[in-house]
Amino acid sequence: MSMPAIAAPTRQENESEIYAKMYGAMPNEKFPIPAADLRGLDPAYYRRIGEYKTDERPGTVIVDTEQKVTFLVLPEGKAIRYGVGIGRAGFGWAGRGIIQFKRAWPTWTPPSEMIERQPELEPYRNGMAPGLDNPLGARALYIFQNGRDTLYRLHGTSDPMSIGKAVSSGCVRFLNQDIIDLYNRVPDRTPILVTGDASAVHVHS
């Protein structure tokens, strides 16, 4: 796999300007999204496009939990790569599935197992309203396997420090700007492959 930093900049722009625009404020969202603070984020996790060798067909989403990146396979041996945060040890899921559906500014409903571990989440048993403080962020993609909800989500976050780390309770988190980009590129029923420990128990983040 070869993954250059970004597409070649125009003569008016340099790399820092391109990334500042890529992760800039999104004031037209339902809940305006501030620019991402990239100072604590390793540039290795910035959104990139480049060469990518895989047998998966274009349009497939591949979550590489070891590298903590997600790929959207493109035609002609290319892919878009997004840096992500993944679940802590014991909170993973792996396998093949589909993105059954997508939601903009979703409601977050913690499962009962999570509420048992974190009783302070009891007020959200019936759902937490959308917004910048919602753990699912600006978008969520819902993963099903064999017709059943895995409770596994690809979703947004406003916390750049969590990207490239194993910090969540199982789901894969993207910067809000990146999950919006992916959301806009993939339709419902997109195939997804998640690599990692298939024996791990997954719960919703």
Q: How many other CB atoms are found less than 10 A from the CB of residue 151?
A: 18
Q: How far apart are CA 60 and CA 79, in angstroms?
A: 10
Residue among 92, 91, 189 at smallest CA distance from 142:
189
Q: How far apart are CA 6 and CA 155, in angstroms?
A: 23
137 is catalytic: no
Strands 139-145 and 95-104: antiparallel
Catalytic residue among 47, 155, 173, 202: 155
Cα angle for residues 50, 55, 61 (degrees, 5° grid): 65
Using CA atoms in the order 152, 157, 162, 163, what is the torsion angle rounded to 10 degrees?
A: 80
Catalytic residue among 72, 80, 171, 182: 171
202 is catalytic: no
Q: Please list the active-site residues.
A: 155, 171
